[in-house]
Chain A
């Protein structure tokens, strides 16, 4: 028997004009937790897609237990006992936990479902690995953590031996992350082999045995976690030294820029308001951060402030002017918005980069005369931003935005929004899915903007970012602000308690 559960040897996968995986080798030992680290666009997803049979590699071989195998579609992967927990769960919302687990591998008798046996098996697995779930609860009613445990049970139910976790901690609270780490250790102890995809160094340091690093499609190396440091890993990933913690001076808050007074915003998903009477202020020269677990009204709060959704009650004052009913265009004169979803809101992906660079100001006389676009000035402006913010793309200004990497798309948005010189910058998850290098850049931009006397409202789900960048933390839970914390005086654990709704204080007004 081979020492390795899965070996991917010298995998090369090309896309037109791009080598996504260039001679990549990873070897997953039996019973180990093997981290796969790399920036966005480093080729992690492609590599996993090859393992899953979604793509065929041009070169290289895959071995399972030392024997070469061909994986041409996901069913092959399944038959080989390879399972994956996707970053965004693939669960049927209105089905129960049990139904979701057996979906696709149901035992039937004369065409009728036989769920009793399945239930026994699920409960046994749940107990064995410490995966607490309520098998009869509907997915839509359970916490994200339990949904993730459901996904893990799905893999175990299929007797998968190789488990892939794709950025599993992105949606969890600190407490839930702790639990997940324990679960992963249990699984490894029982002989399951785990591939853990992440770009969070501290998690890798905590849970993984070994770590393989990819950079720009190339295999950089595999290291033993015991004999390495976070700094070394980040250097391997980015190719240079990176400052992991943003350095910044003391905040010097000035006049109030944004005054939010008891606003309500309706929810699209249900009949209750998503934002229920939220009040707070953001001053010049400070970064106020809204922390919270995804789906607690942060998105709607930002929509209300930026004008994408109407405010049903309460009022909004920007620089002394009431903007409660102002249009998006009116607000955007003094407010910049780095949207949560860069593909949905931030960019017109089929437009070239230069058209995207003027998305918020194409109507200004600089870029339009007599109703006609001034292509020359648009190009010039875009070239300047590309230079200043180091936005990299294949063909500069004429690159179609869709073909750019996520990090550079985000840089383009940031360039566009910061260059507007706003009084208030609303940045929602500005570093989502980005690598350390880009995160460092964006954090520096936010801080330098603050230091210029601009007010920054940062909405983030990343605890590290919340703790490092903000001057003041407001925690949002179920549409309300449940706590105001000073990042210098609080701990992630305390923050986690607020985020989970276990602790609250009356704030605001």
Chain B
């Protein structure tokens, strides 16, 4: 019975195609903005952004900066996985940003104040994120509070709580937390020889392969396990899940708890490398959690796809910093990456349009004369929904 479909009909292929389309449109609009601000440097500008670490002429330097991009890809990927995981259950975990903050706060505090080793810090980051996620989950399950609202509000609570707590372990003269490598070397994530591949970039740690492994694990949990079956059923149709005897409340809480744990762990993947310090005076929630939303959609809502989309988004973000500051004001690099990332969120729209086009094309060909209109069933639901 199974018909050989054209590659265009394949869901995975469509996702990739839609993602590429998004990227192209994003780059085009970014280019137009550059053109509008200063036509002289536009072509070079967009190439600079795309080149990122290849802007360095020497292979060694390029590898080193590729390492830097990867270091920041790991936390982004974790945030994207957090959002992806929850999204499959029908929950929009915009609170990933706050869960990330909570993870960063606790792991840094544990590392700098309590001088705990890296693996304990890692676990604490996971726990902190999970606690934040669980709060949102409880509110959603038992009080039906929209997870977007409670998530966003918790983001700010988390930010100021962490700013306050980490002020105890910051440097005297600056708002930044103490250097991890000098304060507590035991808390720095092990590198397992990875820096050798990236021109001795010491920030390249096990965080990167670990994040990729976790992405694969998330895919397996969602698609191959009983737990994933329940979660996706809940995401697709809450009522049917309840009818099947699934514990909806428990699943909502567990989902957000796991989502929170992923985001929290993501923070540890960055801050326990010593690549960055926390600024205790920052007044905005780190963008990692929000960029994760774009990465999730660009990745076609597939954990594996998310690995690549996270890298791309980080690539663009890092690339933006190489824009010629003499031609463009310094904010422009962020603006351009933001525009491209914004367009990345349009993947579903592109995919939808693509599908419609394909359907129309198939329609014209008029193959397969099997007259069982599915719309009969659909109209029925539509009507049923209106009746109240």
A90 and B376: CB pair below 8 A? no
Query: Within residues 337 to 393 of chain A, which ones have a CB less than 8 A from any CB in chain B?
Result: 337, 339, 341, 343-351, 355, 359-360, 362-363, 368, 371-373, 375, 392
A216/B1 contact (C-beta < 8 A), A17-B362, A344-B239, A360-B245 known: no
Contacts of A343 in B (CB 8 A): 377, 380-381, 384
A348 and B363: CB pair below 8 A? no
B-contact 0/1 string along A57-97, CB 8 Å cutoff:
00000000000000000000000000000111110010000
Contacts of B1 in A (CB 8 A): 394-396
Contacts of B374 in A (CB 8 A): 15, 18, 41, 402-405
A22 and B371: CB pair below 8 A? yes
In-complex Cβ contact of B245 among A22, A89, A328, A339 (8 A): A328
| Interchain Cβ contacts under 8 Å between A and B, 27 examples | A14-B363, A15-B374, A17-B367, A19-B366, A19-B369, A19-B371, A40-B377, A41-B374, A42-B376, A45-B375, A93-B388, A216-B371, A217-B371, A306-B243, A308-B243, A344-B384, A345-B239, A347-B240, A348-B236, A349-B236, A350-B237, A362-B226, A362-B229, A372-B225, A373-B229, A405-B373, A409-B377
Query: Within residues 232 to 253 of chain B, which ones have a CB less than 8 A from any CB in chain A?
Result: 232-233, 236-237, 239-245
B377 and A406: CB pair below 8 A? yes
A88/B225 contact (C-beta < 8 A), A332-B245, A350-B236 known: no
Query: Within residues 185 to 219 of chain B, which ones have a CB less than 8 A from any CB in chain A?
Result: none
Q: How large is the interface on B (under 10, 10 to 19, 20 to 34, 35 or more residues)?
A: 35 or more
Check: A324 CB closer than 8 A to any chain B CB: no
Check: A261 CB closer than 8 A to any chain B CB: no
B376 and A45: CB pair below 8 A? yes
Tell me, in angstroms, the Cα distance from A260 to B51 when the chains sit together.
73
Contacts of A41 in B (CB 8 A): 372-374, 376-377
Contacts of B233 in A (CB 8 A): 348, 351, 355, 359
A45 and B379: CB pair below 8 A? yes
A433/B371 contact (C-beta < 8 A), A332-B245, A373-B224 known: no
Contacts of B372 in A (CB 8 A): 18, 41, 216, 392, 405
Contacts of A363 in B (CB 8 A): 226
Q: Which of A22, A43, A46, A88 has the most CB of B within 10 A?
A: A88
Query: Within residues 23 to 72 of chain A, which ones have a CB less than 8 A from any CB in chain B?
Result: 40-43, 45-46
Check: A327 CB closer than 8 A to any chain B CB: yes
Seed contacts A45-B376, A363-B226; 17 additional CB < 8 Å A-B pairs: A16-B359, A19-B366, A22-B369, A90-B386, A308-B243, A328-B245, A332-B245, A343-B380, A345-B239, A345-B240, A345-B243, A348-B236, A351-B232, A360-B244, A375-B224, A395-B1, A405-B376
Tell me, in angstroms, the Cα distance from A133 to B229 when the chains sit together.
51
Q: Closest approach, in angstroms, between the C-beta of A258 and any C-beta of chain B? A: 18
Check: A218 CB closer than 8 A to any chain B CB: yes
Query: Within residues 336 to 388 of chain B, which ones have a CB less than 8 A from any CB in chain A?
Result: 359, 362-363, 366-377, 379-381, 383-384, 386-388
- Sorted nearest first, the 7 A-B pairs with minimum C-beta distance are A329-B245, A217-B371, A20-B373, A406-B377, A345-B243, A328-B245, A88-B383
Mostly helix, strand, loop or mixed at chain B's interface? helix
Tell me, in angstroms, the Cα distance from A392 to B371 when the chains sit together.
13
A371 and B245: CB pair below 8 A? no
Contacts of B236 in A (CB 8 A): 348-351
Contacts of B359 in A (CB 8 A): 16
Tell me, in angstroms, the Cα distance from A107 to B240 when the chains sit together.
46
Contacts of A348 in B (CB 8 A): 233, 236-237, 240-241
Q: Which of A343, A396, A402 has the most CB of B within 10 A?
A: A343
In-complex Cβ contact of B244 among A218, A359, A398, A409 (8 A): A359
Tell me, in angstroms, the Cα distance from A217 to B227 when the chains sit together.
42
Q: Closest approach, in angstroms, between the C-beta of B220 and any C-beta of chain A? A: 8
A373/B370 contact (C-beta < 8 A), A15-B363, A343-B381, A344-B239 known: no
Closest A residue to B371 by beta carbon equals A217
Q: Which of B230, B239, B243 has the most CB of A within 10 A?
A: B243
Q: Closest approach, in angstroms, between the C-beta of A478 and any C-beta of chain B? A: 18
In-complex Cβ contact of B376 among A22, A40, A347, A392 (8 A): A40
In-complex Cβ contact of A328 among B227, B242, B371, B376 (8 A): B242
Tell me, in angstroms, the Cα distance from A90 to B367 when the chains sit together.
37
Contacts of B239 in A (CB 8 A): 344-345
Contacts of A405 in B (CB 8 A): 372-374, 376-377
Q: Closest approach, in angstroms, between the C-beta of A268 and any C-beta of chain B? A: 10
Contacts of B226 in A (CB 8 A): 362-363, 368, 371-373
Tell me, in angstroms, the Cα distance from A93 to B372 when the chains sit together.
35
Closest A residue to B355 by beta carbon equals A16
B240 and A344: CB pair below 8 A? yes
Tell me, in angstroms, the Cα distance from A308 to B248 when the chains sit together.
12
Contacts of B371 in A (CB 8 A): 18-20, 22, 43, 216-218
Tell me, in angstroms, the Cα distance from A93 to B244 when the chains sit together.
33
Tell me, in angstroms, the Cα distance from A433 to B384 when the chains sit together.
12
Tell me, in angstroms, the Cα distance from A329 to B245 when the chains sit together.
4
B243 and A20: CB pair below 8 A? no
Q: Closest approach, in angstroms, between the C-beta of B30 and any C-beta of chain A? A: 35
Q: Which of B225, B244, B381 has the most CB of A within 10 A?
A: B244
Contacts of B362 in A (CB 8 A): 16-17
